[in-house]
Structure 1
Amino acid sequence: MELGLHGKTALVFGAAGGLGSAIARALALEGVNLVLADVNEASLSDKAAEFKAVGVAVMPLVWNLTDLGSIGDRFQLIEDRFGPVDILVNNTGGPPPTTAGGQPVERWHEYFQTMVLSVIAVTDRALPNMRARKWGRIITSTSSGVVAPIPNLGISNTLRMALVGWSKTLAREVGYDGVTANIVLPGRIATPRISFIDEQKAKREGRPVDEVVKESLESIPIGRYGRPEEYGAVVAFLSSIHAAYVTGSVIRVDGGLIPSI
């Protein structure tokens, strides 16, 4: 299927990580100009070289989302090279495993800024050009924990839920202007983040990691962890001309893991 994205410009956050790089690669294969944003400069350079080999224009940007004051400057760099951003992929790193109770207020403030406020501020900067041109895609990657809260991921469950409410509200505000806003939920996708969570659970419960992974696999109807490229493909479709009537939605990519309807 031709997705109609050739020559569009996408800004992908967390582009040096597992899900972000998979999303970027899926978009690269569709001929999208890529702006890769991440805090990891070394990994970012590696990914930029990888995607340039696909034959698309790539712009790596070291971008720390805790610095809200840098948003305007970063967008100016992007627009000077590619013009306005057509596709914005909000994909932030997750906090460490924590309980919901007993966390210092300062920790809540820290992750609210990096996981929620930064996403809102970046989107607000991208939206005016999208609305003016009557075309845009806002795709926010969160977690299956917003539907079925994951034990010991208290901060993640709480803050990512805020993004769901924000995205749904935004979708109603910008839909008439040809801009869509959707949430994508990864289930157990085989990334370093999932490996880390499995290892932490095993350590916390005093069990072998293999036992934790086996238990996790048994909870997934498809019987395996998802492949990052499967997640990237869903995001690429939501970015496409064919997804113009999909907005305000929460799309699960979880192999059937979430048990609720």
Structure 2
Amino acid sequence: MDFGINGKAALVLGAGGGLGGAIAASLAREGVNVALGDINVEAAEQKASAIRAEGGTAVALAWDLGKIEQIEQNVSRIEAEFGGIDILVNNTGGPKPSAVTDQDPALWRESFESMVLSVISLTDRVLPGMRSRKWGRVITSTSSGVIAPIPNLGLSNALRISLVGWSKTLAREVGRDGITANIVLPGRIATPRITFLDEQKAKREDRKVEDVSAESVASIAVGRYGDPKEYGDAVTFLASANAAYITGSTIRIDGGLLASV
């Protein structure tokens, strides 16, 4: 199937990590020129190098989502390199595990700026270009916690759900400009983040990590953790020309983890 995005340009945030890196690699396999942004530029460069080794086009950028002032500089560089951003994948890191109560207001503010305000500000920066070309994709990766809040991820549960309302509203505002806006929810995808969360849960409950992971796997309909490539490929489909009629949606990529309808 021809996804119709060969030669398009994408910016993938958090691309040095497991999910973002998999998304960038999948887009590159479809001929998309990819900019990989991450606070860990060395990790982003490793992912970009792997893409280039397979014949793709990729550049890595140091990107601290807590610093809104970096947006203009980085987007301008991508525009100079690729001529514009057609596909924006908003993928932010999650805060440390925590309760939702008794958190320092400064932590709430810092988390909001890096997880929510950065996404909104960046999207506002790239939308004029998408509108002028009458084509664009805004895909925001959040968490299954927006459907079923995850214990001990209070900050994430509270903040990420605001992006769902924002994306749904955005879809109606830009739909007639040829731009779609969708939310994707990862379930238990086999990344370092999931390994970390399993380890933290095991530590809190004084259990073996293997037992925690097995319990988690047992709750998933397909009986396993997801492969990051599967997540990346699903996002790439949403970025494709074939998905032009999918917008304002919240799509679960979770192997049937979430029990709700």
Class of the TM-score when normalised by the shorter of the 2 chains:
over 0.9
Following TM superposition, by how much is the alpha carbon of 1:13 offset from its aligned partner in structure 2, in angstroms? Answer: 0.4
Report the 3-state secondary structure (helix = DSSP H, G, I; strand = E; otherwise coil) of the residue aligned with 1:68.
coil
> Gaps spanning 5+ residues in structure 1: where?
none
Match of 2:140 in 1: 140
When normalised by structure 2's length, the TM-score is 0.99
| Alpha carbons 1:217, 1:223 under 8 Å: kept | yes
RMSD between superposed Cα atoms in Å: 0.6
* TM-superposition CA deviations, 1:171-215 (whole Å, max 9, x none): 000001000000000000000000000000000011111110111
2-side partners of 1:43 and 1:139: how far apart? 22
2-side partners of 1:45 and 1:131: how far apart? 30
Report the 3-state secondary structure (helix = DSSP H, G, I; strand = E; otherwise coil) of the residue aligned with 1:251.
strand
The code of the aligned residue for 2:33 comes to N
The within-5 A match list for 1:20-35 is 20-35=20-35
Report the 3-state secondary structure (helix = DSSP H, G, I; strand = E; otherwise coil) of the residue aligned with 2:25.
helix
- Is 2:83 aligned against 1:79? no
| Alpha carbons 2:35, 2:59 under 8 Å: kept | yes
* TM-superposition CA deviations, 1:91-123 (whole Å, max 9, x none): 000001111111111110010000000000000
* TM-superposition CA deviations, 1:39-92 (whole Å, max 9, x none): 112212211110101212211111111111121111111111111100000000
The within-5 A match list for 1:94-243 is 94-243=94-243
| Alpha carbons 1:28, 1:54 under 8 Å: kept | no
Report the 3-state secondary structure (helix = DSSP H, G, I; strand = E; otherwise coil) of the residue aligned with 2:69.
helix
The code of the aligned residue for 1:183 comes to I
Identity of aligned residues (%): 61
1-side partners of 2:44 and 2:153: how far apart? 27
> Gaps spanning 5+ residues in structure 2: where?
none
The within-5 A match list for 1:57-72 is 57-72=57-72
The code of the aligned residue for 2:219 comes to S
- Is 2:216 aligned against 1:245? no
2-side partners of 1:257 and 1:69: how far apart? 38
Matched length? 261
| Alpha carbons 2:45, 2:59 under 8 Å: kept | no
Following TM superposition, by how much is the alpha carbon of 1:234 offset from its aligned partner in structure 2, in angstroms? Answer: 0.4
Report the 3-state secondary structure (helix = DSSP H, G, I; strand = E; otherwise coil) of the residue aligned with 2:61.
strand
